[in-house]
Amino acid sequence: MGLTSRHCRRVWHTGKCQLAGRPAVCADAARRRVCADPSRPLVCMDPSRGRLSYTCGTPDPGCDSDGPRSPAEGGWATELVRTFCTIMVALTLSICPLHAQSTTGDPCGVRGSLDAAAGWLHAGDARKALELLESVEQAEPDNPWLWFYRGSAHLRLNDAYEAMAAFDRASEVLIGLGGPDPDLAERIARQRRIARRRVFGLRFQTGFAYDSNVSYLGSDASTLDLIAGEEDGRFVTSLQADFAPVDDGVNLLAVGLRTSHSWHFRIDSFDFQDYGAYVRYARHVGDSLELGVRYDYDVALLGNDRFLSRHALTPSIRFDWRASPSRFHPSDTTVYYRFEARDFLFETEPAFDRDGLVHAVGVEQGFRLRPIADWPWWWTVAVGYRYDREHTDGTEFDRRGHAVHVDLSMPLVNPAAPTRYLVFPDKELVLRIHAGWQGDKYANASLIDVRGRERRDRTTTVGAVLSQTLIDHPDSGTLVLHLIGNWTDAESNVRASSNISPFTYDKFVFAIQIEWSW
């Protein structure tokens, strides 16, 4: 029979241990690993410790009087443990084939399957992990680690509903055992939250901003060209809700609603409201390829007047790269096409009519970077390119555009204790840096330019966001403080009368915002 034992506040993988050809019961006695026969060694394996054998009656070297030491606290030891676990998975699979995993006193049964499943999850192969867990369920269906690993595997395979069901089962089993492992219980709750957010999520953000040159740029950077030329402060809010009625690992159907508002202190003609919704369908082909299509609709108000209505259809292809031990490797690649129909809801002269269509194609490439080998942190890097072609009912705003961006996200950790964050050691602190460049060439001679030249624009944007997590709870949600700074520099060759350059400007935006997500 397989018994669940508690050791150093950790629920151990359950199963039988072999002792001189006879089954031996793993137990806990004053935080000491003991077995039925104290004269012989007990052969067991815990992948989180990276140790194979304990002598009966000898204290576990991974524990002290205050509880377990996490492998992450060892810095360089983390990589050693991971390497050891990878080797042990290979050894386990070589000596413990699936057909040999039975419920007899074979140490290559439940424990070996769990160890190997954990290794395959770490290596990024969730399907092999699920295959190994089938034998564990037959032998020990009430093993909390079985259901935790199963939920993690389904989550890797984008099957959020099955993942939540597995995590719920893991919690039920753990509670039924008397809740002996708070660490495992928290891990279950946090993983379940990730799965639940794939099904249903809420995000609310609010704060204040100072703008040195109030303008309405919308989501298309420099293409809407409504510039006040005055500084002002504003109060901003945004709310988004997402729901996925289908997310089964092969098909994803998601819908969402969003709204954002911006109220200026003085220049109320630039008060902004946006109300939007989306529908997205995606199909997973294998474990790495995703084919998707998304429809968005937005209506925007400027100064409480209807300003812009937009429909957009975006098919895309995404490829997720396998995890690599390399310190710098690609994470995902996305190629997309966007078709957008714009309807500006105000009267204007025919030549300045901006109603029309926008076609865009783009590519996004993500990378993961580990700058210091001994530290367990990864930086994420994203680079992208987009080409736009805008056709309008008038003549002034037909254009072609090229845009490039680079984004970097890095955790800020304590150099003296690399497993801890700065400010609040156990609360995530992240710095995100953005840089973007856009060039636009307009098709026709500008009616605004005194010399009648074709318009040429160049826009540079640089920004940074410092995000400090204040509260992070699986049930009540996450509260994050954002400090935001952005600089935009736009240059245009257009010169109006009196040598005015209406499309040349620069601006600084500084903001402080609070974000709650659930």
Residue by residue, what is the 3-state secondary structure of 159-171? CHHHHHHHHHHHH
C-alpha dist (Å) from residue 204 to 478, 514, 516: 11, 8, 5
Rounded CA gap, 129 and 113, in Å? 9
Q: Which amino acid does the sequence have at 334?
A: T
pLDDT at 499: 80
Using CA atoms, how far apart are residues 401 and 399, in angstroms rounded to an integer? Answer: 7
Contact call for residues 151 and 14 (beta carbons, < 8 A): no
Task: Tell me the C-alpha distance between 218 and 272, whole Å.
Answer: 9
Element of type H or E holding 141? none
Q: How far apart are CA 314 and CA 220, in angstroms?
A: 15
Section 118-132 average pLDDT: 85
Cβ proximity of 8 and 62 under 8 Å: yes
pLDDT of residue 226: 60
Percent of the chain with pLDDT over 90: 55
Q: Would you say how long the chain is, in residues?
A: 518
| Greater pLDDT, 86 or 24 | 86
Our CA dihedral for 154, 156, 159, 161, rounded to 10 degrees, sits at 70
Q: How many Å apart are CA 491 and CA 286, to the nearest integer? A: 46
Strands (E), 85-143: none
- Identify the weakest region by mean pLDDT among 188-197, 393-402, 413-422, 498-507: 498-507
pTM of the model: 0.75
Could you give the CA distance from residue 434 to residue 430 in angstroms, rounded to a whole number?
Answer: 13
Angle ∠(54,55,57) on CA atoms, nearest 5 = 115
Q: For 148-187, how does the pLDDT look when each residue is reduced to its tens digit (9 = 90+)?
A: 999 999 998 889 999 999 999 999 998 988 878 888 999 9
134-159 per-position pLDDT tens digit: 888 888 888 899 999 999 999 988 89
- Cα pseudo-dihedral 72, 85, 174, 245, rounded to 10: 90
Max CA-CA distance within the chain? Answer: 99
Q: Are 447 and 351 in contact (CB under 8 A)?
A: yes
- Quick one: CA dihedral 20, 94, 154, 515, positive or negative? positive
Q: Is the pLDDT of residue 50 over 60?
A: no
Q: From residue 508, how far is each of 12, 226, 231, 408, 486 by CA, in Å?
A: 55, 16, 9, 20, 6
- Percentages of the chain per state (helix, strand, coil), in multiples of 5: 20, 50, 30
Confidence of residue 122 (pLDDT cuts 50, 70, 90): confident
Give the integer Cα–Cα distance in Å for 356 and 253.
Answer: 29
84 sits in which H/E element? helix 76-95
More confident residue, 299 or 375: 299
Torsion of CA 76, 78, 80, 83, to 10 degrees: -140
| Angle 80-42-59 from CA coordinates, rounded to 5° | 70
Tell me the per-residue pLDDT of 314-354, one tens digit each, with 9 for 90 and over. Answer: 999 999 998 788 899 999 999 999 999 999 998 889 999 99
Helix (H, G, I), strand (E, B) or coil at 359: strand
| CA atoms lying within 13 Å on the CB side of residue 153 | 24
Q: Report CA dihedral (423, 424, 428, 430) to the nearest 10 degrees.
A: -10
Residue 464 · residue 432 · CB < 8 Å = yes
370 close to 379: Cβ distance less than 8 angstroms: yes
Q: Residues of the chain with pLDDT > 70: what percent?
A: 76
